[in-house]
Structure 1
Amino acid sequence: MEFLEVIRKRKTTNGPFLDQPVSKEHQHLLMEAASRAPSHFNSQPWRFVLVENKAIIHRIAELGGSSMERLIAEGRFFERYRPYFRFSEKEMEERRDGILIDQLPGPLRPFTRQIMSPGALGLLRTLGVPRVLGEDNRKLVAGSPLLLAALLDKQEYRPGELSGFYSVLGLGMAIENVWLTTVELGMGIQFVSTPMEIPEAWEEVKRVLEVPDDLELMAVYRLGYVPPERPRPRIDWKSDHRKRLSQFVFRDTCRTPEPDH
């Protein structure tokens, strides 16, 4: 693909992957892409774990599912992410950020705005939404042929110091290289984020991955080949919009927005 086409086609895969192992060749290409990212003084502070072991994947899947269920049931998910929910094409077109909640199971559609509000915990529990979302999350992770854990070397990653910032910046660029390369390889990728939001779950992920004291686990992703027709989850959203130039770019100083054309 042309490079800009790859950037424009980059997406997060919310649905299932093909039941097909990721080839060793493609795994190593992803890692080569990561290694080509810039880093402070070429320090390359990133470390990665490629996980194909089914028992490990299933354990992390359980942690992902139970974390999602707990975050929804306790209201923490909506409290934290409510500012990013959009409920109409008009709102999405105006804001051009966040996620458009455009797919819900039939019985939930009349309550779209209510379910995504902070005061809807009782309704959510009654409808069994936390359990449904938790189980859907567990299945997605469990059905992934490959997990990728991203870590930082603590010799470079020192939070509160510039080296800490540089390390996170470098890891972010390495992950973006991986993400873009999945487009070229016909693969998809998704952040397994919910265990990070429950401290004890994240500690268990570290234990399962046998993370040593000199490394810091930063993130886990699920990867695989995407099917030609991509079924959408029961509860899903779209996030195709991007801000206009005038909404995020300035000219010369922060006082002058860049015109859109």
Structure 2
Amino acid sequence: MELIEGMLNRRTTNGPFRPDPVSREHQHLLMRVAQAAPSHFNSQPWRFVLIEDPGTIARVADLSGQSMTELIEAGVFFERYRRYFRFTEAEMDERRDGIHIDRLPGPLKPFTRQVFSDAGLKLMRQLGVPKKLGEDNRKLVAGSPLLLAALLDKSEYRPGELSGFYSVFGLGAAIENIWNTVGTLGMGIQFVSTPMEIPRQWQAIQELLKVPDDLELMAVYRLGYLPEETARPSIDWSSRHRKRLEQFVFRETCDRPEYEKPTQD
């Protein structure tokens, strides 16, 4: 039951970590739970890089912050992900997915629903929001005592073939094992996603980590121990809603939703 409760209470950490280094014992434990994940023919296609060097972390943080600023400034971020934004509790409760934008800087609050429109983007530029978000992102990554790079072995990861699917599926299971373990260690984890949005920035991270030709860098995460209390970022959201059973589960065929309570046929 503790395992199930932990999985149901899993959260992504949007805020800062404590500055304490992550113990070598905990780092190796996270690698062991990743290793326990299922993989096609026990191929174990995953590879990981544990990063503690302050200089490397600072450089990844710079790239992440620059990427965030560029994405917001150009409007690319909102164009790609606008369909996931929810602006009221009622909308969130109906859809049960996406993120509820429930925290904005004071000058933007009157324009909550319009803030991700073209006019709203212009106002955000005038208020310096892209640079503020980029700097917030940089600080979060820079203040992380541990980064984790996840890679795949290209001898197994061959996109367009079934081995490509199997490899991604296996890495996903390995990462999920890590994600479900950090909570029991008093830790948090967050995907460092913005550099992936800009090819040259992602290439810079690969060069920084000296990724060889036979490995594919798939993702970077930041990890650390959680503080007892932390202030929310200036722009933040909640995403605790999950779809109702009938919104994502079917019985026998795809035209028969599965309801929490059985219905009369």
- Please give the TM-score of this superposition, normalised by the length of structure 1: 0.98
> How big is the shift at 1:210?
0.5
Task: Provide the rounded CA distance (Å) in 2 between the counterparts of 1:139 and 1:150.
Answer: 22
Structure 1 runs, 4 residues or longer, greater than 6 Å off = none
Question: Does the CA-based 8 Å contact 1:78-1:118 persist in structure 2?
Answer: no
Task: Provide the rounded CA distance (Å) in 1 between the counterparts of 2:69 and 2:119.
Answer: 17
Question: Does the CA-based 8 Å contact 1:79-1:118 persist in structure 2?
Answer: no
| 1:1-261 map, 5 Å | 2-261=2-261
Task: Provide the rounded CA distance (Å) in 2 between the counterparts of 1:148 and 1:116.
Answer: 31
SS at 1:115's partner residue?
coil
> How big is the shift at 1:134?
0.3
> How big is the shift at 1:260?
2.3
Unaligned segments of structure 1, at least 5 residues: none
* AA of the residue aligned to 1:130: P
Task: Provide the rounded CA distance (Å) in 2 between the counterparts of 1:197 and 1:135.
Answer: 17
Q: CA RMSD in A?
A: 0.9
Unaligned segments of structure 2, at least 5 residues: none
Task: Provide the rounded CA distance (Å) in 2 between the counterparts of 1:69 and 1:221.
Answer: 19
The size of the alignment, in residue pairs, is: 261
> How big is the shift at 1:84?
0.4
Task: Provide the rounded CA distance (Å) in 2 between the counterparts of 1:217 and 1:116.
Answer: 31
Question: Does the CA-based 8 Å contact 2:18-2:226 persist in structure 1?
Answer: yes
> How big is the shift at 1:108?
1.5
* AA of the residue aligned to 2:255: R
Per-residue Cα deviation, 1:55-88 (whole angstroms, up to 9, x for no partner): 0000000000000000000010000010000000
Task: Provide the rounded CA distance (Å) in 1 between the counterparts of 2:214 and 2:224.
Answer: 29
SS at 1:253's partner residue?
coil
Per-residue Cα deviation, 1:133-162 (whole angstroms, up to 9, x for no partner): 000000000000000000000000000000
> How big is the shift at 1:119?
4.3
> How big is the shift at 1:8?
1.3
> How big is the shift at 1:2?
0.4
* AA of the residue aligned to 1:88: T
Task: Provide the rounded CA distance (Å) in 2 between the counterparts of 1:44 and 1:246.
Answer: 35
Task: Provide the rounded CA distance (Å) in 2 between the counterparts of 1:105 and 1:129.
Answer: 9
Task: Provide the rounded CA distance (Å) in 1 between the counterparts of 2:5 and 2:48.
Answer: 27
Per-residue Cα deviation, 1:85-121 (whole angstroms, up to 9, x for no partner): 0000000000000000011121211111111224432
